[in-house]
Chains A and B, each alone.
Chain A
Amino acid sequence: MKTADVLIIGAGAAGLAAAVTLKENGVDKVLVVDRQEFAGGILFQCIHGGFGLHRFGEELTGPEYAQRYIVQARQQQVETLLSSHVVDILCKDHDKEVIILSQECGLVKVQAKTIILAMGCRERNRGNINIPGSRPAGIFTAGFVQKLVNLEGYMPGREYVIIGSGDIGLIMARRLTLEGAKVKAVLEIQPYPGGLERNIVQCLNDFDIPLYTSHVVTNIYGRRRVESVEVSEIMQDGNLMPKMKIPCDTLLLSVGLIPENELSITAGVSLNPATLGPTVTSDYMTNIPGIFACGNVLHVHDIVDYVSEEAAACAEAVSGFLAGRLPSEEGIPVHSGNRVKYVVPSFLKPLSDGVLKLRPVAPMKNAILKAAGDKGEVLYSRQMRRALPSEMITFSLPRVPLGCKSITVYFEV
Chain B
Amino acid sequence: MACKEMTCITCPRGCRLEVEYDSSIISVKNNECKRGIQYARDEIFDPRRILTTTVKTTLKVGYLPVKTSAAIPKHLAANVILELRAITVSSPVQIGTVIMKNICGTGADIIATREVLE
Q: Which residues of A contact B (CB under 8 A)?
A: 44, 47-50, 53, 59-64, 67, 149-153, 175, 178-179, 196-198, 200-202, 206, 303
Contacts and interface: CB of A to CB of B under 8 A. Distances in A.
28 contacts: A47-B52, A47-B54, A47-B65, A48-B52, A49-B50, A50-B12, A62-B65, A63-B65, A64-B114, A149-B54, A150-B54, A150-B65, A151-B63, A153-B54, A153-B62, A175-B53, A178-B51, A178-B78, A197-B14, A198-B7, A198-B9, A198-B12, A198-B14, A200-B7, A201-B6, A201-B7, A201-B9, A303-B12
B81 interface: yes
B63 A152 contact: yes
Interface string B51-84: 1111010000011010100000010011001000
A61 B115 CA distance: 13
A47 to B, nearest CB: 4
Interface residues of B, number: 27
B36 to A, nearest CB: 12
The A interface is mostly helix, strand or loop, or mixed, namely helix
B62 A152 contact: yes
Contact of A178 (B50, B63, B77, B115): B77
A197 B16 contact: yes
Contacts of B52: 47-49, 61
Interface in B1-54: 6-9, 11-12, 14, 16, 49-54
Interface in B97-118: 113-115
A64 B95 contact: yes
A153 B55 CA distance: 9
Contacts of A59: 11
Contacts of B11: 53, 59, 198
Q: Which 3 A-B pairs have the closest CB atoms?
A: A197-B14, A47-B65, A198-B9
A361 B94 CA distance: 44
Contacts of A62: 65
A101 to B, nearest CB: 23
Given A64-B113, A153-B62, A179-B81, 4 more contacts: A61-B52, A64-B95, A178-B51, A178-B77
Nearest to B12: A196
A176 B59 CA distance: 24
B91 to A, nearest CB: 18
A168 B68 CA distance: 21
A199 to B, nearest CB: 8
Contact of A63 (B6, B56, B114): B114
B53 A197 contact: no
